Amino acid sequence: MGSRIRMAAVASVMLASAGAASAQSFPSRAVHIFVPYPAGGGVDVLARTLGDVVSKQWGQSVVVENRPGAGGLIASQALATSPPDGYTLIVVASGHATNAFLYPKIPYDTFRDFTPISLLASSPNVLLVRADSPFKTLGDMIAAARAKPGSLSFAHAGTGTSTHLAGELLKNLAKIDLNAIPYKGGAPAINDLLGGQIPMSFNNGPESIGQLQAGTVRALAVTTATRAPFLPDVPSMSEAVPGYDTEVWWGLLGPAGMPPELLTELSHDFVAAVNTDSVKERLTKLGAVPIGSTPQQFDAKIHADYDKWGPIIKAAGMTAE
């Protein structure tokens, strides 16, 4: 009996040592980060910004792969079926927490099939119109919507995304009728806004800031309860619509079953990347707030949004295309 116990103890030590050695040698090849939206959007910008920093830390390439479609389901399913070895990750937006309410059958479990690594950053969404729009203020748009119910449409990054929910919340609180038009990401939505195919669009900060600086679009409001530091002259939505407050967040996930020591290392490295001066400066200029949380804090955030938005989506009868 004593011999078997000693052998088990030795085996346990060997396994722990092997795991530690594996973590210490990570990564030994390129790491791939999936982005569930097209290039140029907020998730893509964040993934590439952080990828550049951690690739230098690791001395290995970080390859960002855009896999848009189905509100993130395509990329998330690809991650869920990947080995939990740290070489395949994904940066998701807050829509990850709500997809289960929008699609009758999603090919993964929101919680069981993923390992939260870090909540990376957040941003207000911004209600944009073209620079030559007749709407100078949010009040102008609301008045027009009330004068002709159902005559105005807004673009968003896909059914159930934070930009879609931002528009639905405005409709609900302002008591106006707007048509929500889904796109496969924020960048295509802005393209149609610029082209005059749609009168307004909800987009996150990183997607919006370049066009705002170029003067091609105008921001009517930001969606957080208070004004955004990167757009101090733009009113918050709550200034015209009391009680309005929502945001978008981005976080890093791995597949389920990642070894604890590998999870610790990945979380440490990406949090360190978020907190480098260059990344904080870039994210702030892009209109994003750097966070860099623990895995446990990110897990709690996903659960909180799941619980918050689920009943709202069900009550509104929202379903994905």
Strand partners, 20: none
Cβ-contact 313, 319 below 8 angstroms? no
Neighbouring C-beta atoms of residue 56, cutoff 10 Å = 12
pLDDT digits (tens, 9 = 90+) for 108-165: 999 999 999 999 999 899 999 999 999 999 999 999 999 999 999 999 988 778 899 9
Strand order in the sheet with 152-156: 178-182, 152-156, 200-204, 125-130, 217-222
**Angstrom distance (rounded) from CA 284 to CA 167:** 24
Checking if the pLDDT of 271 tops 50, the result is yes
Verdict on whether the full-model pTM lies above 0.85? no
Residue 94: name the closest of 75, 65, 68, 122 by CA.
122
Angle made by CA atoms 304, 286, 196, in degrees to the nearest 5 = 95
Share above pLDDT 90 across residues of the chain, in percent, rounded to a whole number: 71
Residue 64: name the closest of 85, 36, 83 by CA.
36
Q: What pLDDT shows up at residue 308?
A: 86
Q: What pLDDT shows up at residue 321?
A: 60
Confidence of residue 320 (pLDDT cuts 50, 70, 90): confident
Q: What pLDDT shows up at residue 317?
A: 83
Q: Which domains does the chain have, with CATH numbers?
A: 2-123+248-316 (3.40.190.150), 125-239 (3.40.190.10)
